[in-house]
């Protein structure tokens, strides 16, 4: 490095780059948590709705066979819905994994670029 001013400027650029990278991580974390929380609330709502249907079925059904058939149908509906929710959650997780991998690759590339700048200036 030729002088202290250049050294200070490179340090400032490196710090700013690191700060921006950490801000991006914070935003990624927030988006991921929001999506996962929404998914959990949706699944919880599905379970509550099924419970209400179950309660209605038990209180309004007069025949035992009709009650059993109704409960079997509710169970099938819940199973199919939970399988779909599980797939949605898996897809969200896979997408989040890709986004975190991209964040890491970009950070590694930016870090290497900054290190190369410092090496070139000091040569």
pLDDT digits (tens, 9 = 90+) for 69-123: 999 999 999 999 999 999 999 999 999 999 999 999 998 888 888 777 777 766 6
Q: How confident is the model at residue 32 (pLDDT cuts 50, 70, 90)?
A: very high
Average pLDDT over residues 51-61: 94
What is the C-alpha separation between 11 and 33, in angstroms, rounded? 33
Q: How confident is the model at residue 1 (pLDDT cuts 50, 70, 90)?
A: very low
What is the C-alpha separation between 23 and 62, in angstroms, rounded? 60
Among residues 81, 80, 91, which one has the least CA distance to residue 46?
A: 81
Give the sign of the dihedral formed by CA 45, CA 47, CA 49, CA 55. negative
């Amino acid at each position: 490095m030729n002088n202290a001013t250049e050294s200070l400027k490179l340090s400032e650029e490196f710090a700013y780059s690191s700060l921006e990278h950490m801000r991006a991580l914070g935003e990624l974390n927030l988006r991921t948590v929001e999506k996962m929380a929404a998914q959990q609330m949706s699944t919880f709502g599905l379970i509550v709705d099924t419970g209400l249907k179950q309660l209605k079925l038990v209180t309004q059904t007069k025949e035992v066979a009709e009650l059993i058939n109704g409960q079997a149908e509710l169970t099938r509906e819940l199973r199919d819905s939970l399988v779909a929710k599980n797939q949605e959650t898996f897809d969200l997780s896979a997408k989040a994994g890709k986004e975190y991998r991209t964040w890491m690759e970009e950070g590694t590339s930016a870090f290497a670029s900054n290190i190369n700048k410092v090496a070139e200036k000091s040569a």
